Amino acid sequence: MHYTLDYTPILPSTNTRAMELARAGAPSHTLVVADYQTQGRGRRGRTWHSPQGGAWFSLLLRPQIPPTQGLTLLAALAAREACETVAGIKSGIKWPNDIMWQGKKLGGILLELAIEGNILNWAVLGVGININQQAFPPELRETAISLQQTTPDAVIQAFCDAFDKRWPAFLSEGIPGLMPEYIAYSVTLGRRVEIITDQRLEGVAERLGPQGELLLRLDTGELQSIWAGDVSCRYTKDQ
């Protein structure tokens, strides 16, 4: 796949830049890369700590498919494989798309979609992978981790290769085609989790539904659908 590189040393956010380029008509597979971000954004309105040295990039896509959360699952698989390729580590995926290593967060994905009716106009997949971070800010020290001895270029190249490998099958098969690999690397499925949205839910993360939603088996026996974007999972203390 041909990628159009858009590199700027310092950006507020590669996702914001990719969205601007999308609105200006940039082609699919435009890859926005920055050395560091001054206003990196995470899911659920959080800020994303993005100092020099990490891999901070956003991929603009214009696939002819209905709007789907499958893109974040696909990106999580590609990001996980990229970390294994460049650093030889076995990381996992915490639903929906946190890259986890040694119980800590190595990277994350922020999907932003422009939808008109039931048509996906464009999608921006933002990926952040921590690399060679010597000191995290206090609020991240217990929960974040970083790859060592690799470079952003190597991670981004490995991500693109891993993404390309899965893209044709994803376009033809959608989420079901991703499932076996996603299940194999999930650190959430089959476990007891606590989910915090506007309410707090606890249960067993049983499987994913057809749209990539998490199906949580509550203690009442009821199966509850949890959608991406408005949850955070924590392992309960006895895990």
Contact residues: ligand BTN, CB under 6 A: 13-15, 37, 40-43, 46, 48, 50, 56-58, 98, 108-110, 126-128
Least spacing, CB of residue 16 vs ligand BTN, in Å: 7
Query: Sign of the C-alpha dihedral, residues 225, 229, 234, 239?
Result: positive
Q: Are strands 214-218 and 200-208 parallel, antiparallel or unpaired?
A: antiparallel
Cα separation, 231 vs 228, whole angstroms? 7
Closest residue (Cβ) to ligand BTN?
108
Least spacing, CB of residue 223 vs ligand BTN, in Å: 26
Q: Which is nearer to ligand BTN, 15 or 68 (CB)?
A: 15
Dump the DSSP string for 159-173: HHHHHHHHHHHHHHH
Q: Which is nearer to ligand BTN, 42 or 177 (CB)?
A: 42
Q: How many CB atoms lie within 10 A of CB 24?
A: 7
* Helix, strand, coil share of the chain (percent; to 5): 30, 35, 35
Q: Which is nearer to ligand BTN, 153 or 219 (CB)?
A: 153
Least spacing, CB of residue 201 vs ligand BTN, in Å: 20
Least spacing, CB of residue 220 vs ligand BTN, in Å: 30
Q: Which is nearer to ligand BTN, 98 or 213 (CB)?
A: 98
